[in-house]
Structure 1
């Protein structure tokens, strides 16, 4: 006969429930004793029956285990009341950051002419001087940017004028070659070959410009 597995639910029969309680309680206390002996552990067990009767087991004693639990609980409460160093540093950093943000926001509002009611004459004069210095820096930076853009445009203009002059010279040279060839009675194909051979190689930009002007290129 195999042992029937007990279903995990309340035993309705009072007598059977009391017998099971007594057996399981003795087994529980036996396991607690083994744990305490084998592992050198301090433990305490309190069990109340359905009738309200108290059963207990402790090692080494109930009083010592309870006092140890209370001491540990007090230490944990102290740790909770006193945050860790990392948490204190983090809170301090957040506070400083928040204060710095508030100060900067207040300063920016003063820069645009707000929240000036609490400033005295001396503070208003300092704010005016600060604004003048800032405005001067902005104007100087703007002028430097303008000068830089003008210089870049002038360099581009000079390059375009140089390219235009070069193209003009090439066109004049080809025109002279064509006139000379016509005067010599050469064919149109010969004139084209002479013009092509006399056209000097140029960089890509000049080739694109020559194509737009309808000029031959090698």
Structure 2
């Protein structure tokens, strides 16, 4: 027996090649239209890539910015940053766990009652040093992230200012155009007799 698809899914599978192509074109256009609306209404960057599967492998792309490549590069850098942060946090937690295990083993091996005060202070200092290093690394990563966000904010503010200037210029040009459409008025001077 084959895989049983739900009734709705069975209806969506289009058998005729020509019908599939027509449906693909219509839905692709609607998808691009919706992506464009999303980018305008929500003021977000949107990019999409569609590769047809009809043998030609034709590539269709949409981007409300200059290129899909720019959006993909931003996505990749975001994913890498998130991955790096999670790896460092995993490393930090792993390092703490390892230190606790080492300390526990040392206490079990040497019998804690048999340790001198100096040895216990030494173990405590090692733990404190490791914690300080981990916190320092975490703080460093957070500061780098904050710095990146500040740079992005600065760029966005500059872009906003540029857009506001463009908008003001467009309004000014529109006013000048509206005034040029008005019929010229005659200027009359009344002289005293």
TM-score relative to the length of structure 2? 0.45
Q: Which has the higher contact order (CA 8 A, sep 6+)?
A: 2
TM-score by length of 1: 0.41
Greater C-alpha Rg:
1
